[in-house]
Amino acid sequence: MTKRIKGSCTTILVGKKASIDGSTIISRNDDGHEALDPERFVVVNPADQPRHYQSVISKVQVELPDNPLRYTSIPNSILTNGIWPAAGINSDNVAMSATETITTNSRVMGIDPYVDGGIGEEDLVTLVLPYIHSAKEGVERLGALLEKYGTYEPNGIAFSDHDDVWWLETIGGHHWAAKRIPDDAYVVAPNRMNIDTFDFDADDTLASADLQAMIDQYNLNPDFDQVNLRHIFGSATIKDTVYNNPRAWFGQKYFTPDVTQDPMEQDLPFICHANRKISIEDVKFVLSSHFENTKYDPYGSGSETDKTLFRPIGINRNHDVHILQIRNNVPATVAGIHWLAFGANTFNTVVPFYANVNDTPASYKNADGNFNLNDMYWLSCTTALLGDTDYDLYVDFRNTFALEAMGAYRKIQNDTDAAIADQADPTAFLAQANDQLAAESLKRQTKLLGDMVIMGSEHMKLRYNLND
């Protein structure tokens, strides 16, 4: 098998009654193993979807159906390790984000080892998203593929439609379990197994057919009085206490501030309830966060030990952040919104692209391995790099930029929503709106970078107080 490329992400899920406008939301930071790995935003039309698929990493071959749906995608620009589509929304307004790398334990690996020639993060969106008509169908299709082909890694995968949000976690080489997120709940999922309490007989759970029997046969349950999949199949390591748990803690602290928890706690809850309705801006803040207003903030005033103790959510290895929103208060034509930003999330802002299109704007789809400030990927990465050199100096520029940019994007979105009913060709009209959004984004991100350069030049160390 080709060398496996590892990523490490953070996921946020929001049920329709927990969001501010009745939308379902699945979102994720697509974090990589390197600081830079260019990505593109594209649409895969049915004619471009393969019928015979072969993975680059595992070499697995899968025959695909002849009736794929169109879908948005965020593939790698450099395809050495395969496509890695990351996430998208299909033409039936079903969304998928894959994957959140999770954890396991030796007991599971001794029963159902990984499959070197199986499927993995490189493959999942391509194999599933074009063929599903609901979130639950996504769980069922992926579950069947895992049972047939196996997987070489542990992953968490999110699905949503206008009613439901589902979360699936792989278990060993061939097993899996999934849970529907309650409508009034949210989830913050870092790189560990996240599902905790689980009822195999409930209407809101699905699992591989023999999973419960496997637990009993191999004496896997450490608890006396419950079935907790994190305890049974996951980890509770020292690494979890500094790499994973603090991210869940900070997200839960932000959404539910009246609950007091320890950032290293191994049993932070999977299903949570916020003290208010959750907005896109809330989700973006958490996915960009670095433990603000705590001693653990790398940009803060804590000790060097505290500032480097925990792995932040916003990090230099953020390649994109996507927030996939399926709206319920608008026509189905404009219901799917693929919010997107590239680069380290501390100095970017998400743009609400309509998913019901046949193509994407050039500045978001053309990035390659060559540095080019006309590509949003490279422009965003450059802004984040400069911002990192003096966060306190540049943060107000960032705050003003984010506020004004999001206002401008929402104005374009509101105008587009209002006009959609009068359009003879809504798909072409939405493509024009996406072009307008991309142009506004490129303009505003370029201005932010320029303002930072102008301000920062006055603070360079290479200066002298006496002028000629």
Reading the block at residue 200, the tokens are: 């195999």
**Known active-site residue 381:** no
Distances (CA, A) of 143 to 24, 63, 64, 127, 149: 22, 16, 16, 12, 10
Residue from 9, 189, 384, 449 carrying the catalytic annotation: 9
Active site residues: 9
